[in-house]
C-alpha cells in the first residue's frame, strides 16, 4: 500500500474538480485529483457549450481564459421559435449588459488540464475503487487502486467532484442526505457536424413534433439537438433522418438556411432534475454534478459547477489563510440557494419548450400562451434574460 498526503483530495477531473484544483494550486494549497478514466476519455466527451460571465470569470481567475477569449463566441441574444415564427430575446439589453460565451466544455477542460500539467500538479487517472473515508472525523482519507496496487491519500478535506454516478455522494449514510428528483419522459438526441451554424444566435424551438435546439461550437461547427424518447436508439438515426426531423421543427425561414453535412458525433442524453442536500458532510464537500443535475434546456449544468467551486474555493482559501471555518460552514447553504434558482429556471425552460406525453391540446395551447407572453412582455423576457445570463454569485 502506497501512502500519500495532500491538503485537499479532489475526486473527479471534470470541470468542477479541475477548476478547484487550479484555483487551490494558485493559492498555494496542495491538492491531488483522482479520476476513474483517462485524460483522453474525458476530452472525448461532448457536453455543454454556453458559459455565463461568472463561469468565464472563474476561468480567468484560474489563469486559463486566453483561448476562451480568443476563440469563444460572445452572444447577446437567443431566439425562441414557435408557431412558425422566431423571436429574439435581447439578453444583453435586458440584463444590464451581460453576455454569454459559446465555448465548449471539451475546450475548457483541455485548457484546465494543460494548465495543471504545466503547473506540475498531481492528477491520477484510471484510478479504480476510489472511496472517501472518515470524513466525519479529523483525519479523512481517500483510498484507490491503480495497476493492481492499493493506495491511500491522507488529507484535510475531500472535494467530491465526481459527477452524478461518482462514489462521493454514495459514501454518505442515507439518513444524512435528502434528495429531490424529477426524471423527464424524454431525452435529447444531439449531433456535432462540421457545418456553419444556421444562425448567429442559438434557436430554442417549440414544435408539436417536439423541441429542437440549434447551437454551435464555432463559426464552422454546429451542435444540434432534437427531443427524442428517453431510450432512443442512436444507431437507428441516419444523418439524413436527423436533418429532416430538425428542419421540420424549425420555422420555414430557418429550416431553409440549415446547412447539412455528415455528423461526427451523435448521442442521446437523458433529462433529469436532481438535488442532494446538504452539499457538505464534515470534511467532505460535494460540488457540480455530484450534488445536482439540471436538464440542459437552461444551459446551467456546467455553470453551476463553476459557482459551487467559487463558494468552495473561497471557503478553503479563507480556512488556510485565516484559520476560519466560516466560509466552509456556509458553503452548502450558499451553493444550494443558487442551485435551486437554476433548477427552477431549467425546469421552467424544459416545461415551456418540450412536448410531454400528456401535453395534449390544452397543454399545447397553454405553452403557446406562455410563449406569446414571453415574447410579448418586456417583464417576462427580462426574467428569462436575467436567469439565462446567470444570477450573481
**Residues tagged active-site:** 75, 204, 296, 300, 388
Site string for ligand PHB, 199-228 (x = CB under 6 A): ---x------------x-------x-----
* Binding to ligand PHB in span 93-132, by CB under 6 A: none
Distance CA 338, CA 304 (A): 8
Residue nearest to ligand PHB (CB): 49
Q: How far apart are CA 192 and CA 211, in angstroms?
A: 17
- Measured from the CB atom, the residue of 283 and 375 that comes closer to ligand RFL is 283
Burial of residue 274 (number of CB atoms within 10 Å: 0-12, 13-18, 19+): middle
> Between 212 and 375, whose beta carbon lies closer to ligand RFL?
212
Query: Left if phi > 0, otherwise alpha if psi is -120 to 50, otherwise beta: which for 147?
Result: left
Helix axes 378-388, 360-376, angle to 10 degrees: 90
- Interacting positions 94-153 with ligand RFL (CB under 6 A): 105, 127, 130
8, 9, 10, 11: which one contacts ligand RFL (CB under 6 A)?
Answer: 11
- Piece in contact with ligand RFL (CB under 6 A), picked from 40-48, 179-187, 258-266, 365-373: 40-48
Q: How many residues bind ligand PHB (CB under 6 A)?
A: 9
Binding mask 286-325 for ligand RFL (x = CB under 6 A): --xx------x--xxxx--x--------------------
Total residues binding ligand RFL (CB under 6 A): 33
* 299: Cβ contacts below 8 Å, ≥ 6 apart: 48, 49, 50, 100, 388
Contacts of 110 (CB under 8 A, 6+ apart): 43
The half-sphere exposure of 258 on its side-chain side, counting CA atoms within 13 A, is 27
The three three-digit cell numbers of residue 88, written as one number:
429574439
Q: How far is the CB of 300 from ligand RFL (least distance, A)?
A: 6
Q: Which of 299, 305, 352, 374 binds ligand PHB (CB under 6 A)?
A: 299
- Stretch of residues binding ligand RFL (CB under 6 A), selected from 14-22, 57-65, 112-120, 236-244: 14-22
**Is residue 195 close enough to count as binding ligand PHB by CB under 6 A?**
no
Among 374, 296, 309, CA closest to 338: 309
For residue 209, give the nearest of 250, 170, 173 by alpha carbon. Answer: 250
Q: How many Å apart are CA 285 and CA 304, to the nearest integer?
A: 15
Question: Measured between alpha carbons, how far is residue 24 from residues 4, 29, 283, 332, 393 in Å?
Answer: 18, 5, 16, 19, 19
Instruction: Determine if 52 is a binding residue for ligand RFL (CB under 6 A).
Output: no
**Binding site partner of 297, from ligand PHB, ligand RFL, none, Cβ cut-off 5-8 A by kind:** ligand PHB
- Judged by beta carbon, residue 25 or residue 75, the one nearer ligand PHB is 75
User: Is residue 271 close enough to count as binding ligand PHB by CB under 6 A?
Assistant: no
CA separation for the pair 12, 296 (Å, rounded): 21
**Calpha distance 370→5 (Å, rounded):** 55
Let me know: does 103 contact 69? Beta carbons within 8 Å. no
Residue ranges in contact with ligand RFL by CB under 6 A: 11-17, 34-37, 42, 47-49, 105, 127, 130, 161-163, 165-167, 269, 288-289, 296, 299-302, 305
Residue ranges in contact with ligand PHB by CB under 6 A: 48-50, 202, 215, 223, 296-297, 299
Amino acid at each position: 500500500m502506497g501512502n500519500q498526503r495532500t491538503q485537499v483530495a479532489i475526486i473527479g477531473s471534470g470541470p468542477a474538480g479541475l477548476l478547484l484544483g487550479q484555483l487551490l494550486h494558485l493559492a498555494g494549497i496542495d491538492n491531488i485529483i483522482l479520476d476513474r478514466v483517462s485524460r483522453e476519455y474525458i476530452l472525448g466527451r461532448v457536453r455543454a457549450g454556453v458559459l455565463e460571465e461568472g463561469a468565464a470569470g472563474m476561468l480567468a481567475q484560474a489563469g486559463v481564459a486566453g483561448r476562451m477569449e480568443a476563440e469563444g463566441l460572445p452572444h447577446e441574444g437567443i431566439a425562441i421559435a414557435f408557431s412558425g415564427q422566431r423571436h429574439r430575446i435581447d439578453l444583453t439589453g435586458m440584463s444590464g449588459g451581460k453576455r454569454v460565451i459559446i465555448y465548449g466544455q471539451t475546450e475548457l477542460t483541455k485548457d484546465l488540464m494543460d494548465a495543471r500539467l504545466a503547473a506540475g500538479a498531481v492528477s491520477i487517472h484510471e484510478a479504480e475503487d476510489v472511496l472517501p473515508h472518515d470524513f466525519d472525523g479529523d483525519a479523512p482519507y481517500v483510498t484507490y487502486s491503480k495497476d493492481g496496487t492499493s493506495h491511500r491519500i491522507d488529507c484535510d478535506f475531500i472535494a467530491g467532484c465526481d459527477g452524478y454516478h461518482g462514489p462521493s455522494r454514495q459514501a454518505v449514510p442515507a439518513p444524512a442526505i435528502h434528495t429531490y428528483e424529477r426524471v423527464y419522459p424524454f431525452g435529447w438526441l444531439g449531433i456535432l457536424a462540421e457545418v456553419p451554424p444556421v444562425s448567429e444566435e442559438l434557436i430554442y424551438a417549440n414544435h408539436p413534433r417536439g423541441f429542437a435546439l440549434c447551437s454551435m461550437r464555432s463559426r464552422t461547427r454546429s451542435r444540434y439537438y432534437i427531443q427524442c424518447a428517453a431510450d432512443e436508439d442512436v444507431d437507428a438515426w441516419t444523418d439524413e433522418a436527423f436533418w429532416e426531423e430538425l428542419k421540420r421543427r424549425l420555422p420555414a425561414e430557418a429550416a431553409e438556411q440549415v446547412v447539412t453535412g455528415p455528423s461526427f458525433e451523435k448521442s442521446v442524453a437523458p433529462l433529469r432534475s436532481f438535488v442532494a442536500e446538504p452539499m457538505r458532510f464534515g470534511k467532505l464537500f460535494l460540488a457540480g454534478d455530484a450534488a445536482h443535475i439540471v436538464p440542459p434546456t437552461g444551459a446551467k449544468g456546467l455553470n453551476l459547477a463553476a459557482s459551487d467551486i467559487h463558494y468552495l474555493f473561497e471557503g478553503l482559501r479563507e480556512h488556510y489563510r485565516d484559520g476560519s471555518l466560516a466560509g466552509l460552514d456556509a458553503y452548502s447553504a450558499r451553493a444550494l440557494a443558487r442551485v435551486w434558482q437554476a433548477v427552477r429556471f431549467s425546469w421552467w425552460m424544459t416545461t415551456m419548450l418540450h412536448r410531454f406525453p400528456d401535453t395534449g391540446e390544452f397543454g399545447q395551447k397553454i405553452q403557446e400562451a406562455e410563449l406569446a407572453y414571453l415574447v410579448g412582455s418586456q417583464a417576462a423576457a427580462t426574467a428569462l434574460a436575467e436567469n439565462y445570463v446567470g444570477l450573481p454569485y
